[in-house]
Chain A
């Protein structure tokens, strides 16, 4: 069974504004990171999966249910946590999550029990009886997650769940997401504009840019694709870059800073040997990562 599947999925709001451009992908169950810059089409993608926006062309299905014909059935087994505020202020967390459980089809008693259970899971204890208006941003994010989980969905769609949180709050939210995906066995699609953040919790990765699919596959492969070795030299040594290039490495040199694409372990050997031959004064070496935007720019350049 395929978790999410799209074929030539396109969504344009006006002829000029194409939010999703011929997206074809298949996603297996698991924890999936969905990255792209702001405005790349992440929210549009989620809204199409929920049947809230009709695709302009192409098709999409969730758990083998079509987003156009079966959106009610999809919504019964999908939990959605929107990016922006979506909570009333003058209802208690416990009441609201239970209400949302009933809206998803749970009977009264089951909704109340599961609401209590989910609020405990996300770490809201006594506060759940207070009105949501008095909650901190972190607590609100927890309620948003709890209402997405209350009806025991098969798939969770989390849109930028760490937005607006302080570093500790981000950490908490990410470990909650990881626990939900692993312990609960619920598939999670989590979007972010920060790859560094979600790569810690996800197993698969989808990257889009300007509505176009850039990557869809295991996270590990993506990491290899995007990793760069930074070599810092004590003083300028242009020969090192030249030598490494002549030995087939992809080197981006900028005075005393070399950025080298790591292919496999032999890359390190090549650098070691070249540095030893030339007596290049290496001060420091560390692995870094292309920022998403850079990666996309490189690929666009390469494709174009």
Chain B
């Protein structure tokens, strides 16, 4: 009704007229536009934007937890002039656990609800294939996780530079860390994100999917620890690669050039850092393949 009134008010001489049905004669965008649209919509969904209040709860809490230490750290450093900010690698380890929780909560939100409520049917009746659908969702989840991992790190980075007496000099010292920061947060986000989505693609309900993802990140480490305690020698060293959390720690140490403490598991295993990266990449590839195969059946 509102539209009719507005339309008639704009009419020449204020004459009333009914627009009736109007054909759409404008531009029709290609498939890439559909993929971009789905990516952006899903990224918003990952943070509960454009959704009800309840959908915003978990993302807000996790956003708070990952950003507050970085904000406090930068704030404290700027007022006291004390330079001991949280280290990048500490922050990566700290957020790994939280983004795993985030992925467990939001990966199902991104794909299980579409299946559960039948929305997937509508998407696939659009110019979009099942594989593109899955890729858009995967991209959105990884991007959301980057906000949680790279976001606070970027804040720490900027903090270090602008608190310094000579920001330009600080930037020249620090900028080399940007590469590892982006590569590190991206790899960890993709590692957790692809696993979470691949597992969720088999669940019929959100709760099952969330439980399965959490189960994966709890049971696999537990199993790896048990098996490791039984193994000896060389095998024991390599079995650390079966433990997702230790893999992330080992990878973080490597990428930020940190010597692992000797008493930690990673320190004792003393494996080349590239091994951790190789494991993560292998998991990312396998999980992505599983996800895409799951959705490939949906297209003709």
Q: Is the interface on chain B under 10, 10 to 19, 20 to 34, or 35 or more residues? A: 35 or more
Q: How far is the CA of A100 from the CA of B120 in the complex (A)?
A: 12
B11 in the interface, Cβ–Cβ < 8 Å? no
Q: Which residues of A contact B114 (CB under 8 A)?
A: 88
| A-facing residues in B1-45 (Cβ within 8 Å) | 1, 3-4, 20-24, 26-31, 33-34, 37-38, 41
Q: Which residues of A contact B119 (CB under 8 A)?
A: 86-88
Q: How far is the CA of A54 from the CA of B128 in the complex (A)?
A: 16
Residue of B at shortest CB range from A116? B3
Shortest CB–CB separation between residue B255 and chain A, in angstroms? 38
Shortest CB–CB separation between residue A73 and chain B, in angstroms? 8
Chain A contact residues: over half helix, strand or loop, or mixed? loop
B51 in the interface, Cβ–Cβ < 8 Å? yes
B300 in the interface, Cβ–Cβ < 8 Å? yes
| B-facing residues in A87-117 (Cβ within 8 Å) | 87-91, 95, 99-100, 102-107, 110, 114, 116-117
Q: Which residues of B contact A85 (CB under 8 A)?
A: 117-118
| A-facing residues in B102-134 (Cβ within 8 Å) | 113-114, 117-119, 121-128
A52 to B127, Cβ gap below 8 A? no
A84 to B54, Cβ gap below 8 A? no
A155 in the interface, Cβ–Cβ < 8 Å? no
Contact with A along B276-289 (1 / 0, CB 8 A): 00000000000000
B52 in the interface, Cβ–Cβ < 8 Å? yes
Contact with A along B256-300 (1 / 0, CB 8 A): 000000000000000000000000000000000000000000111
A162 in the interface, Cβ–Cβ < 8 Å? no
A90 to B28, Cβ gap below 8 A? no
Q: Which residues of B contact A160 (CB under 8 A)?
A: none
B24 to A114, Cβ gap below 8 A? yes
A68 in the interface, Cβ–Cβ < 8 Å? yes
Which of B31, B117, B126 is in CB contact (< 8 Å) with A87?
B117
Shortest CB–CB separation between residue B38 and chain A, in angstroms? 7
Residue of A at shortest CB range from B123? A103
Contact with A along B29-72 (1 / 0, CB 8 A): 11101100110010000000011101100000000000000000
Shortest CB–CB separation between residue A85 and chain B, in angstroms? 5
A147 in the interface, Cβ–Cβ < 8 Å? yes
Q: Which of A75-83, A204-212, A266-274 lies at the binding interface?
A: A75-83
Shortest CB–CB separation between residue A29 and chain B, in angstroms? 15
Contact with B along A45-85 (1 / 0, CB 8 A): 00000111110000000000001100111011010101011
B24 to A68, Cβ gap below 8 A? no
| Known pairs A50-B125, A99-B41; A91 contacts B51 (CB<8 A) | yes
Q: How far is the CA of A102 from the CA of B1 in the complex (A)?
A: 24
Residue of A at shortest CB range from B28? A105
Can you list 13 contacts pairing A with B, beta carbon distance less than 8 Å?
Answer: A72-B127, A75-B127, A86-B117, A87-B117, A87-B119, A89-B117, A90-B54, A91-B51, A100-B126, A103-B128, A104-B34, A106-B28, A117-B3
Q: A53-B300, A104-B34 are in contact. List 11 more A-B contacts (CB 8 A).
A: A72-B127, A84-B118, A87-B119, A102-B34, A103-B123, A105-B28, A110-B26, A120-B1, A147-B122, A151-B28, A152-B23
